């Protein structure tokens, strides 16, 4: 059972550069609220793939990513005062999040199995890949890769798993954008 059926397919440089630009435009048209998030995600992709901003790309991947993570953590932690955080609502939100992650993983595997019903023998997707279609990047892909290798040491699922994981990330951003657009309309 293959990961994607298109292992080691070569992609042109032009397509790699056009991809983040086109995705930003399309996502901006479909869910304008998601534009800032998807724009930054795709900007990172663009500076990596364009090939002329290697220094910026390396800084963004290493120092900048660590700095932003620390800053974000400190900012969030500073607003987590006991009167706001130590509440039953917090536990409910954590429970909802856990349910969402569990259902997302389960749903991904089931959907991959469903898609396999329509794919030819020998070109089927490993259903474990479906479990990576969530925004927990890159841990879910790593876990699936390790689980796959535990069953069969020649099972190399990392690349297709990462692809599904990025798809999950983009999907989550667009879902957030759609929800942010819809909620005020129904409020």
Partner 1 sequence: MTSTIETTLLIAGIGITGIFVFMAIFYLLIIGLDKLLPFEEVKPEE
Q: Residue 171 CB, nearest distance to partner 1 (Å)?
A: 5
Options 15, 65, 98, 100; binder of partner 1; rule CB under 8 A: 15
**10 Å Cβ neighbour count for 16?**
15
Residue 170 Cβ, how far from partner 1 at the closest point, in Å? Answer: 7
For position 42 contacting partner 1 by CB under 8 A, the verdict is no
Which sign, positive or negative, has the C-alpha torsion 157, 99, 32, 69? Answer: negative
Asked if 159 interacts with partner 1 (CB under 8 A), we say: no
Q: 159 or 175: whose CB is closer to partner 1? A: 175
CB of 51 to partner 1, least distance (A): 14
Q: How far is the CB of 161 from partner 1 (least distance, A)?
A: 17
Near partner 1 in 122-151, by CB under 8 A: none
Contact with partner 1 (CB under 8 A) among 22, 91, 92, 93: 22
| Residues that bind partner 1 in the complex, under the rule CB under 8 A | 10-12, 14-15, 18-19, 22-23, 26-27, 30-31, 167, 170-171, 174-175, 178-179, 182-183, 186
């Amino acid at each position: 059972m293959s990961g994607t059926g298109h292992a080691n397919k070569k992609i042109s440089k032009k397509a790699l550069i056009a991809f983040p630009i086109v995705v930003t435009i399309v996502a901006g048209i479909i869910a304008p609220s998601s534009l800032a998030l998807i724009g930054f995600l795709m900007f990172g992709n663009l500076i990596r793939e364009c090939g002329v901003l290697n220094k910026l790309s390396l800084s963004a991947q290493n120092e900048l990513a660590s700095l932003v993570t620390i800053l974000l953590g400190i900012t969030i932690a500073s607003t987590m005062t006991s009167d706001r955080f130590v509440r039953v609502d917090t536990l409910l939100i954590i429970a909802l999040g856990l349910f969402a992650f569990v259902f997302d993983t389960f749903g991904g595997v089931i959907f991959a199995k469903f898609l396999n019903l329509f794919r030819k023998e020998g070109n089927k997707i490993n259903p474990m890949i479906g479990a990576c279609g969530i925004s927990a990047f890159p841990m879910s892909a790593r876990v699936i890769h390790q689980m796959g290798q535990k069953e069969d040491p020649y099972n190399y699922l990392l690349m297709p798993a990462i692809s599904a994981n990025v798809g999950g990330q983009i999907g989550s951003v667009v879902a957030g954008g759609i929800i942010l657009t819809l909620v005020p309309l129904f409020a």
